[in-house]
Amino acid sequence: MLRILFLGDIIGEPGRRAVTELLPKFKQDWAVDFVIANGENAAAGRGITPRITIDLLRAGVAVITTGDHVWDQKELAGFIDTEPRLLRPLNYPVGTPGAGSIVLETAKGKVGVINVQGRTFMLPALDNPFRQTLDEVEKLRLQTPVIFVDVHAETTSEKIALGRFLDGKVSAVAGTHTHVQTADEQIFPGGTAFICDAGMCGPIRSILGREIQPIIQRFYTSMPVNFPVAKGEVKIHGILVDVDESNGKAVQIRRVAEVYPGSVPEPEPAHDQSVPEQSVV
Question: Which residues sit at the interface with Fe ion, rule CB under 5 A?
Answer: 9, 40-41, 67-68, 177
Least distance to Fe ion, CB of residue 143, Å: 28
- What is the number of alpha carbons within 13 Å of residue 57 lying toward its C-beta? 15
The 3-class secondary structure across 59-125, one letter per residue, is: CCCCEEECCCCCCCCCCHHHHHHHCCCECCCCCCCCCCCCCCEEEEEECCEEEEEEEEECCCCCCCC
Q: Indicate the residue among 16 and 169 with the shorter CB distance to Fe ion.
A: 16
H-run or E-run covering 16: helix 12-29
Least distance to Fe ion, CB of residue 167, Å: 24
Least distance to Fe ion, CB of residue 51, Å: 19
Q: Indicate the residue among 119 and 177 with the shorter CB distance to Fe ion.
A: 177
SS3 4: strand
Least distance to Fe ion, CB of residue 155, Å: 13
Q: Indicate the residue among 41 and 206 with the shorter CB distance to Fe ion.
A: 41
Q: Indicate the residue among 33 and 197 with the shorter CB distance to Fe ion.
A: 197
Closest CA to 182 of 161, 202, 148, 154: 154
Q: Indicate the residue among 67 and 112 with the shorter CB distance to Fe ion.
A: 67
- Catalytic annotation, pick one of 69, 177, 179, 237: 69
Least distance to Fe ion, CB of residue 272, Å: 27
Catalytic residue flag (residue 69) = yes
CA distances from 243 to 54, 111, 134, 136, 159 (A): 27, 10, 20, 20, 20
Q: List all residues 6 or more positions away from 22 whose beta carbon is below 8 Å from its beta carbon.
A: 236, 258, 260
Residue type, 129: P
Q: How far apart are the first and last CA of the chain?
A: 52
Show which residues are catalytic: 69
